[in-house]
Amino acid sequence: MKRAGLGGIRSLGASPSLTGIHFAWRGWILAALLAALALARYRSHMPLQPGWLVLLATGLGWRAWAGAHIDGHSNGAALSGPCLAAGGPYRISRHPLYFANLLCAAGIVLYAHCLPVWAAVLGIAAAVAHHEALARAEEKFLLARYGEEYRRYMQVTPRWPGIAKRNGDGQGGPGRADTGWTGPEGADRGREVSRRAGGWRPVLARQGWNLAKGCACALIIRIAAAASG
């Protein structure tokens, strides 16, 4: 939901930690997992499973949807939170960008079709653990920054996609009578910003590189499979 890195940890007055290093290197960790998968694909003679690319496409679509409801700060190397996002997929998950990454990771692993079942499960579990740690660290940062406002959001919105609890007027979505939270001011700011600036073009400007990287992952696996003969 927000950017991550050593700079963000320092902004809270804390010294660099394993959490900060993890945030700063989060993309490279995924790149290392992809490299290991590509090597396994190169050494395998099992056929690719293109049907699982639907899962990758779903993840990329989910990421684009989330990108319409959050500003470009989500791409940076430092943890920040200039505003809280609570519209679109943020109504059913506190971390839709991370969830999109997990869908993409699962799709790539299954598409590669080069690992024994235990290794495939272990690889996907490693990706889940990686993003779970990111989500928990990010929530700690946002709680420190926004306090009770973010705590109320956490009370009505699950960490991973689920059914948001109903608010006081019986309508679905963020907000509930016993918390008194109906969404932060500007909760749908991402969609409003993109609409004023020309539809989905700003979304592609903010998330286009990430969407391209998702497609590149599939291409890398395809090249590795072709190279193996």
User: What are the domain boundaries of the chain?
Assistant: 6-227
- List of residues 6+ apart from 7 with CB closer than 8 A: 77, 78, 79
pLDDT category, 12, cuts 50, 70, 90?
Answer: very low
113 vs 43: CA distance, rounded Å: 12
Q: Is 80 exceeded by the pLDDT of residue 174?
A: no
Q: What percentage of the chain carries pLDDT values higher than 90?
A: 51
CA distance 211 to 190: 18
Assign 171 a pLDDT band (cuts: 50, 70, 90): very low
Calpha distance 71→81 (Å, rounded): 10
- Average pLDDT of 113-122? 96
Q: Which amino acid is located at 136 in the chain?
A: R
| Contact (Cβ atoms closer than 8 angstroms) between residue 62 and residue 89 | yes
Task: State both tokens at 42.
Answer: 């190169």
Alpha helices in the chain (DSSP H): 6-11, 18-24, 26-43, 53-67, 96-112, 117-146, 148-156, 189-196, 201-227
Q: 31 Cβ partners below 8 Å, 6+ apart? A: none
